[in-house]
A and B are shown apart, each in its own frame.
Chain A
């Protein structure tokens, strides 16, 4: 079969799996698990074949037009270059792992069939975004991902956190998607087509009339989807969804879609240096802020969520300095180790019965009860902290190297300021990343105290996937940095000496300082007991997690942080801790700026409708009612009254007729 056919099958198979799952989920429950796992597995195989065939050479392009649109044509188009091929393999790989993991995680969940179908639908949409060569088809996949995210975050809709989080995720990303759509239209108007190849050639020939405006509009959508400042507030709250969903959507794939899109259309952004500076500032603020916030979180998944935001900031920083090879390299390795981190966190939550680090740090032998999670999570955290020789080291160093290159003005048409901003912020974030990664590792696995409850062995499906994902987290970077430039733009991805030394050194400093703080504060743990564990330890992991989420606020007072004196983060952040725990109050600002005015306007409208408009409506009814009541009083039942009235009228009429007839 031709590469094009295989490429069409790659998004199609999971879509068919999703449709079949939604239709047959209730009637044939025995088929649900095979339908969940096999299509992504097949898509993975096909994507790998497509990648091998494409091999980093000329892009595979094909297009058909379904119907004429009348103005700018919309075509079903494929554009598979090296970026698309590799990212598709990553997506399919992580999706397969997540589906296998979910069979164990949501073993007893009654809504598993719809969950699996939605995950398959999401996978199909993401693959569509990756392979699409037409911007409108890409937008379709973009939006389907958004709605799948809404459904999947709201999987535990019995908990109010999940309900609120799913709506918040949807609204904030849609807020970015509206300017995104306008930007796409502007782009297509200038280029005369929605095809990506056409757009890129238009940019090459200088055909874009308003590059800054278009770039900023598109950046709004990218910021929403990839959780960059200021539209990042939805991602920490989206941790109220099941852990496999967090792993797939909010770590490896959907949030990477914004980065991927920017990488695909980087010439459009590079056409405006103002937009590049904005992107660099955005990346810097995101990186630094999320690193600080991650140090203050108590929920293990929220730490990972802020970590994701920061790592995405790295990718957008790489794009801001014009090196999309580095950005996609980091995307690939981050996809592997972040998915692993989340899935391992799911195992830990199931084993400990809680998602709170404060509680875990007061449990005795959690490490011994989940050895697979311990070792794989250690590998992933080392990759996150960019310690050589793990994959994160190579990918992060490629980003920092590109920033240094831009800062020292070796790159054309990239402002040096952007390079410096990204470099400094990147080094600071490396310090913070190592700090929070160490904190998480120490609090989760080196707690002292009561024995962790015995929740039995973890399902094989879950543990096996962890080891599968550990392989690329360990080895991808080292093996790939020489080969990848052939798939990408050809720029060198080797780590440079200066940035490697600086980056690694900074990370080690961060880790050691945190370890020291932990040693200092851990003695306080025994004096301040706290913790709450799930009530149904024998339930499947999904149930345990739902209960943990629902109990975090009642137990610790806040969904994000806990008043734990034994937390080294408190010592490290000092007076910033209080602000960092709430994400620097951005949610409160948005609430005051947008939510409250909208609610006030809504209640005003309701008041007007009820009191003003309805008054007239009811008044219109009151008058006939009063008239009717008045008329009804004439129905006395007394016949003589009736006849008198009748005859009186007759006499009047007669006299009137006579007067008229006689001409008076």
Chain B
């Protein structure tokens, strides 16, 4: 199979997930979009692993191993992420990301802020950054 197919599909899925992360208001929808992005990555990993193991360049099947790890990590992440969303919901009564503006200029904060979103775009529990510390 032409390698372009899975690669392009993965790219398209990734960008769809990206749109969802940036455009959705509800925190849980953002988490769903993050799952889409992770799946796109997994698809890429698997496709390349199959290609490379055929050409006998990669005997370790690292792509598939990493895919499994990614799946496991995604599951763990979604658990934590939902716990955080619940905590935020309980504290503020809403799970809208738009309402979490504590890092805004002029907003009074009373505790160390987590860094504003420049940190990463791939695995953020982006909605839950509003100081829901344990």
Interface of A toward B, CB cutoff 8 Å? 632-633, 635-640, 642-644, 646-647, 650
Selected from A637, A643, A650, the residue in CB contact (under 8 A) with B22 is A643
- The list of the 5 closest CB pairs from A to B, nearest first, reads A637-B104, A637-B101, A635-B105, A642-B117, A639-B117
Asked if residues B97 and A636 are in contact (CB atoms below 8 Å), the reply is: no
Selected from B18, B98, B118, B121, the residue in CB contact (under 8 A) with A638 is B98
Query: What are 13 contact pairs spanning A and B, CB under 8 A?
Result: A633-B105, A635-B105, A637-B107, A638-B97, A638-B101, A638-B104, A639-B129, A640-B23, A642-B118, A643-B121, A643-B126, A646-B118, A650-B121
Q: How far is the CA of A650 from the CA of B124 in the complex (A)?
A: 17
Shortest beta-carbon distance from A652 to chain B in Å: 15
Q: Which residues of A contact B84 (CB under 8 A)?
A: none
Q: Which residues of B contact A639 (CB under 8 A)?
A: 97, 100, 103, 116-117, 124, 126-127, 129
Q: Is B21 an interface residue (CB 8 A)?
A: yes
Q: Which residues of A contact B103 (CB under 8 A)?
A: 635, 637, 639
Asked if residues A643 and B105 are in contact (CB atoms below 8 Å), the reply is: no
Highest count of chain B CB atoms <10 Å: which of A632, A642, A646, A647:
A642
Q: Which residues in chain B, 86-134, are within 8 Å of chain A measured between CB atoms?
A: 97-98, 100-105, 107, 116-118, 121, 124, 126-127, 129
Shortest beta-carbon distance from A550 to chain B in Å: 58
Shortest beta-carbon distance from A627 to chain B in Å: 14
Highest count of chain B CB atoms <10 Å: which of A632, A637, A640:
A637
Known pairs A636-B104, A639-B117; list 20 more (Cβ under 8 Å). Answer: A635-B104, A636-B101, A637-B103, A637-B104, A637-B105, A637-B107, A638-B97, A638-B101, A639-B100, A639-B127, A640-B22, A640-B23, A640-B97, A640-B117, A640-B126, A642-B117, A643-B21, A643-B22, A643-B121, A644-B22
Q: How far is the CA of A632 from the CA of B97 in the complex (A)?
A: 20
Highest count of chain A CB atoms <10 Å: which of B107, B117, B118:
B117
Residue ID in chain A nearest B18 by CB atoms = A647
Asked if residues A637 and B102 are in contact (CB atoms below 8 Å), the reply is: yes
B-side interface mostly: loop
Shortest beta-carbon distance from B28 to chain A in Å: 15
Asked if residues B21 and A640 are in contact (CB atoms below 8 Å), the reply is: yes
Q: Which residues of A contact B98 (CB under 8 A)?
A: 638
Selected from A633, A643, A650, the residue in CB contact (under 8 A) with B117 is A643
Shortest beta-carbon distance from B91 to chain A in Å: 16
Q: How far is the CA of A158 from the CA of B17 in the complex (A)?
A: 84
Residue ID in chain A nearest B23 by CB atoms = A640
Shortest beta-carbon distance from B30 to chain A in Å: 8
Shortest beta-carbon distance from B42 to chain A in Å: 20
Q: Which residues of A contact B21 (CB under 8 A)?
A: 640, 643
Q: How far is the CA of A591 from the CA of B116 in the complex (A)?
A: 68
Q: Which residues in chain B, 45-85, are within 8 Å of chain A measured between CB atoms?
A: none
Q: Which residues of A contact B97 (CB under 8 A)?
A: 638-640
Q: Which residues of A contact B22 (CB under 8 A)?
A: 640, 643-644, 647
Shortest beta-carbon distance from A139 to chain B in Å: 67
Residue ID in chain B nearest A647 by CB atoms = B121
Asked if residues A637 and B18 are in contact (CB atoms below 8 Å), the reply is: no
Q: How far is the CA of A637 from the CA of B116 in the complex (A)?
A: 8
Shortest beta-carbon distance from B20 to chain A in Å: 10
Highest count of chain A CB atoms <10 Å: which of B22, B98, B100, B103:
B22
Given contacts A640-B23, A647-B121, contact A632 B127 (CB under 8 A): no
Q: Which residues of A contact B107 (CB under 8 A)?
A: 637
Q: Which residues of B contact A643 (CB under 8 A)?
A: 21-22, 117, 121, 124, 126
Q: Which residues of A contact B100 (CB under 8 A)?
A: 637, 639
Residue ID in chain B nearest A631 by CB atoms = B105
Shortest beta-carbon distance from B70 to chain A in Å: 21
Shortest beta-carbon distance from A609 to chain B in Å: 35
Shortest beta-carbon distance from A541 to chain B in Å: 69
Q: How far is the CA of A646 from the CA of B97 in the complex (A)?
A: 18
Q: How far is the CA of A646 from the CA of B121 in the complex (A)?
A: 8
Shortest beta-carbon distance from A93 to chain B in Å: 81
Q: How far is the CA of A646 from the CA of B119 in the complex (A)?
A: 9
Q: Which residues of B contact A647 (CB under 8 A)?
A: 18, 22, 121
Shortest beta-carbon distance from A291 to chain B in Å: 80
Q: How far is the CA of A643 from the CA of B102 in the complex (A)?
A: 16
Residue ID in chain B nearest A635 by CB atoms = B105
Q: How far is the CA of A635 from the CA of B107 in the complex (A)?
A: 10
Shortest beta-carbon distance from A390 to chain B in Å: 90
Residue ID in chain A nearest B19 by CB atoms = A644
Q: Which residues of A contact B126 (CB under 8 A)?
A: 639-640, 643
Asked if residues A642 and B116 are in contact (CB atoms below 8 Å), the reply is: yes
Residue ID in chain B nearest A648 by CB atoms = B22
Q: How far is the CA of A636 from the CA of B102 in the complex (A)?
A: 9
Q: How far is the CA of A643 from the CA of B18 in the complex (A)?
A: 10
Q: Which residues of B contact A633 (CB under 8 A)?
A: 105
Shortest beta-carbon distance from A634 to chain B in Å: 8
Q: Which residues of A contact B101 (CB under 8 A)?
A: 636-638
Q: How far is the CA of A636 from the CA of B18 in the complex (A)?
A: 20
Interface string of B8-42 (1 = CB under 8 A from A): 00000000001001110000000000000000000
Q: Which residues of A contact B18 (CB under 8 A)?
A: 647
Q: Which residues of A contact B121 (CB under 8 A)?
A: 643, 646-647, 650
Shortest beta-carbon distance from A55 to chain B in Å: 93
Q: Which residues of B contact A640 (CB under 8 A)?
A: 21-23, 97, 117, 126
Residue ID in chain A nearest B129 by CB atoms = A639
Q: Which residues of A contact B129 (CB under 8 A)?
A: 639
Q: How far is the CA of A657 from the CA of B121 in the complex (A)?
A: 20
Q: How far is the CA of A239 from the CA of B98 in the complex (A)?
A: 81
Shortest beta-carbon distance from A620 to chain B in Å: 24
Q: Which residues of B contact A638 (CB under 8 A)?
A: 97-98, 101, 104
Q: Which residues of A contact B104 (CB under 8 A)?
A: 635-638
Q: Which residues of B contact A642 (CB under 8 A)?
A: 116-118
Highest count of chain A CB atoms <10 Å: which of B101, B102, B127:
B101
Shortest beta-carbon distance from B131 to chain A in Å: 13
Q: How far is the CA of A269 from the CA of B57 in the complex (A)?
A: 113
Q: How far is the CA of A638 from the CA of B96 in the complex (A)?
A: 11
Residue ID in chain B nearest A634 by CB atoms = B105
Q: How far is the CA of A638 from the CA of B23 in the complex (A)?
A: 11
Q: How far is the CA of A635 from the CA of B106 in the complex (A)?
A: 9
Q: How far is the CA of A642 from the CA of B21 in the complex (A)?
A: 12
Shortest beta-carbon distance from B16 to chain A in Å: 14
Residue ID in chain A nearest B30 by CB atoms = A640
Shortest beta-carbon distance from A639 to chain B in Å: 4
Shortest beta-carbon distance from A617 to chain B in Å: 27
Q: How far is the CA of A647 from the CA of B23 in the complex (A)?
A: 13
Q: How far is the CA of A501 from the CA of B8 in the complex (A)?
A: 133
Shortest beta-carbon distance from B122 to chain A in Å: 10
Shortest beta-carbon distance from B117 to chain A in Å: 4
Q: How far is the CA of A644 from the CA of B124 in the complex (A)?
A: 13
Q: How far is the CA of A644 from the CA of B105 in the complex (A)?
A: 18
Q: Which residues of B contact A650 (CB under 8 A)?
A: 121
Q: How far is the CA of A639 from the CA of B23 in the complex (A)?
A: 11
Asked if residues B23 and A632 are in contact (CB atoms below 8 Å), the reply is: no
Q: How far is the CA of A638 from the CA of B103 in the complex (A)?
A: 8
